[in-house]
Amino acid sequence: MITADEILARAMEVKAKAMEYGISGGVGKDLTAREATKLARAFNRWLVFEITERPVRDLFVRHLDEIILGALIAKEQMDADIGGEMPDSGQIGVTRPRACYFGIGDDWVDIGSVTTGSPQNWIHSGTTLMGGTAGNPIKIGKNAVHVIFAVGDEAPSSKLESIQFTVDGKEKPIIVFGEIMRLPNSLRIKELEKSFIWRKGTTVLGKVFVSAGYGSSVTTIPYLEGVSYVLEDVLRTHDAANIPGTAKDVVLTT
C-alpha cells in the first residue's frame, strides 16, 4: 500500500526530475495532504481491486515518481486541486487513459484493420473521431496531462512488431514487441524505460508496424497504459465523440 505521507515525501523529490522530461517549470505548486490522500486512495484501489496481474501492478509502483510528477504538472497547468477518481466540480480527476483522450475512437479497438508491411497511423489527427488530416500529430489540450509508462495489445492473437512515437516533432526510438507479444499467457504489454509525460501543447504521432508475413491486413489493438489527469467535467463526458476539440480542450488536431 502507498500512503499519503509517502506520496508527499516523494513529491518533494520528484520536482528535481522535471528537467529529465524536458519540463523546465510548471511544477511550482506542492501537493496538499488532502490531495496526497486522494491520489494514494486511487492508486491503491487500482492495485487491489482493478489490476489482478502482479506484473502490471509492479509497473504502477515502479513509475510512482513519474505519476506524482504528472500530478504536480496537472495541478499547475489546470490551476486546480487533485480530486482523485471522483473529483468535485472544478477539480482534477485521476483516471486510466481512455482511447478518446488521444483521438483514437470510442475505444482502443477503433484502430480497425491494420495494413501490413509498412508503418501505419495509430495516434494521429486523421481518425474518424478527430476528423483532421491523416498523418498529422494530435496536440494535448490544457485540460489533460498523461503519464504513459507502457504500451500493450488487446488483440487475442497479437502480431504487433513495433510502435514508434514522434513527440513534438522528434522521432523517438522504436519500441520493439517481437516475441513477448506471442508467448503463451503473455500479458502482451511492453514497459517503457522512462514514462512519456504529455502535457498542454505536446504533439504526439504514433505509428504501428506489422509484418506482411501475416497477410495484407491484420487486427491489432494497441493501447496506452498509465495515468491520465483530466478536469472533472471531462470525467463527466461519457460519449467519446464529445471529447476532441476546443470545447473540452483535451485533444486537438494539428
CA distance 127 to 29: 36
First-to-last C-alpha distance (Å) of the chain: 41
Is residue 152 situated within a structural domain?
yes
179-202, pLDDT tens digit by residue? Answer: 766 766 667 889 999 999 999 999
140 in the same domain as 47: no
Total count of domains within the chain: 2
CA distance 250 to 230: 8
48 in the same domain as 9: yes
149 in the same domain as 58: no
Cα–Cα distances (Å) from 1 to 7, 41, 49, in that order, read 11, 9, 12
pLDDT of residue 185: 64
Domain residues for 70?
4-95
201 in the same domain as 111: yes
71 in the same domain as 41: yes
236-245, pLDDT tens digit by residue? Answer: 999 999 999 9
Is residue 233 situated within a structural domain?
no
Query: Cell 488487446 maps to which residue?
Result: 154
